[in-house]
Amino acid sequence: MYKLLFISILLTASTMISAQDKTVKQVATAVEQLRKAMVDGDQQMLEKLADDQLSYGHSGGHIDDKKEFVDKIASGKSDFVTIELLEQSIVVSGKTAIVRHTLNAATNDGGKPAEVHLKVLLVWQKHNSGWKLLARQAVKA
């Protein structure tokens, strides 16, 4: 009897871990889609991934809403030539995911080449259509 109970608990825990791993992979995919859309200036993908209530905090203190965030990237005003994400961690709690990483990027804002090195916190929320970026805050690394 105890053996059956132990096996049942073990299988339940294994299923829960597997579901968590799948969810973490889904969030990681959304983060990668965002990274690529920012480099490509892909307005359609940026609009798809950003929640309507997006609060996008820059390391200098400025906060963009969804429209401002998408417009800056899609217009090239904020031009990411490359983005490298390092030391990424993802924690999922229900329909919310917290992502932290280091972002190293080459930029070309206003025709001025530069580099940025940031620590970033992303908050993603699960919707029927997939994971959407609800909030982002960056600080200089």
28 phi/psi in degrees, rounded to 5: -60, -40
Q: What token pair was written down for 49?
A: 């991934």
**Range of 76's domain?**
2-140
pTM, two decimal places: 0.86
* CA nearest to 69, candidates 103, 45, 97, 92: 45
| Sheet order of strands, 130-140 included | 63-64, 50-57, 130-140, 112-127, 96-109, 80-93
Q: Using the 8-state DSSP alphabet, how is residue 101 labeled?
A: E
Number of domains in the chain: 1
- pLDDT tens sequence across 13-57: 444 445 568 999 999 999 999 999 999 999 999 999 999 999 999
Amino acid occupying residue 85: L
CB contact at 8 A, 106 and 118: no
Here the CATH number for the domain that contains residue 68 is 3.10.450.50
Question: What is the SS3 assignment for 20?
Answer: helix
How many Å separate Cα 94 from the centre of its chain?
16
- pLDDT tens sequence across 81-133: 999 999 999 999 999 999 999 999 999 998 999 999 999 999 999 999 999 99
b/e map 112-123, b = 16+ CB within 10 Å: eeeebebebebb
Q: CA angle at residue 25 from 59 to 13, to 5 degrees?
A: 120
**Residues whose CB falls within 8 Å of the CB of residue 13, separated by 6 or more in sequence, listed in order:** none
